[in-house]
Chain A
Amino acid sequence: MALCAAALVFAASAAWSTGPGGTAAPVTPLRPVASFEGIRDPAKRSAALFAEAGKVIQSPRCLNCHPAARIPTQGDEMRQHVPLMVATDGNHGPRGLPCATCHGADNAPTFAAGIASVPGNAHWQLAPVEMAWQGLNLPGICAQLKDPRRNGSRSLDQIVTHMKTDHLVGWAWNPGAGRTSAPGTQEGFGALIEAWVKTGAHCPAA
């Protein structure tokens, strides 16, 4: 009976996403901001907060569209996008084949075995080349996020707003059937980024 009760509590508290083939898979949790209060050194606390947020930033849901080459990747294994897409001089695909050719405003179910859905968002696009995350370690990504030349000329407050509220960022927690969600929630992720900025936006050590 106690086991059943425990199982019910777990089922009620855990978030779920659909993994490959559309089967349910638990979402990796994020530590709440409050759990970092025991780190007395603000700089170390700040770096630890960013490292936790990095579980999202370095998830395939984010990295796939922040490639080092101008070619997006796909799946948790981050294989090259099929069909081949090259961003060329913009972030929306080559002339005549924009991302929106296949990626609509919302995730769309498919009729193919093994591919449960085509991901979608009204702002679907590749991150600009200066915002490439693939190939960088977390300290490198942290430094990039603080650099207005490489973060879309955003202030740190604007970075917080972007991470907390941007609809395309939020897609990472609504990735469609057949895809694992980014860890935690956008709310929890945004809180970590906000706390990171408030504690001085220190980066983890390389």
Chain B
Amino acid sequence: MEDAVKLKVNDKIHEIDAEPDTPLLWVLRDIVGLTGTKFGCGAALCGACTVHVDHEPRRSCVLPVSAVGNANVLTIEGVGATPIGKAVQDAWLQTEVVQCGYCQTGQIMQAVALLTANPAPDDGAIDRAMSGNICRCGTYPRIRAAIHAAAKQGVA
């Protein structure tokens, strides 16, 4: 039985009809219509579906929508409105990180989570925090360089 649930996404309230155990990713893409967040592995192993729930990174493919509660979900469509998100997206463009692009939503959301928690990460801290975000194009060196570039903007 589906229930109407209020879900706050990018600071906007949405009324959704979904089973409580529906993964947040499904709700974002199929009901709210925000398709920037990607399905990758479906098991929290690749990071493509990363969003933030009240500023903390979460893999939306294994997060039941009922677990979100009143928290705000921040997606790739909204992250550019935050100072760190804008810095990361600018650095991504300047560094020309993207190749095919499929994983980059998750990479950017995870990078913003890292810089929120650690404004000046060294290479080791970047590698540890980004280890769960897989890129089959192998853009890892550019991702690391872009995170350093974003950190240098000092907005975190």
Contact = CB atoms under 8 A, between A and B. Distances in A.
Interface in B34-85: 41-45, 47, 50, 56-59, 61-64, 67
A104 interface: yes
Given A100-B56, A100-B58, A94 B129 contact: yes
Interface stretch (B2-10, B93-101, B113-121, B138-146): B113-121
Contacts of B128: 84, 86, 88, 94, 97
Contacts of B125: 94-96
A104 B58 CA distance: 9
Contact of A98 (B56, B61, B64): B56
B114 A95 contact: yes
A106 B67 CA distance: 9
Name A's interface SS. loop
Interface string A82-96: 111110100000111
A101 B116 contact: no
A101 B118 CA distance: 16
Contacts, number: 90
Interface residue tally on A, bucketed by range: 20 to 34
A23 interface: no
Interface of B: 21, 23, 41-45, 47, 50, 56-59, 61-64, 67, 110, 113-118, 121, 125, 128-132, 134
Interface of A: 82-86, 88, 94-98, 100-102, 104-106, 108-112, 115, 118
Give the 8 A-B residue pairs with the shortest CB-CB distance, closest first.
Answer: A111-B42, A96-B114, A96-B129, A112-B43, A83-B132, A110-B43, A102-B44, A94-B128
16 contacts: A83-B134, A88-B128, A95-B125, A96-B57, A96-B113, A97-B130, A97-B131, A101-B56, A101-B57, A108-B44, A108-B62, A110-B62, A111-B43, A115-B43, A118-B43, A118-B62
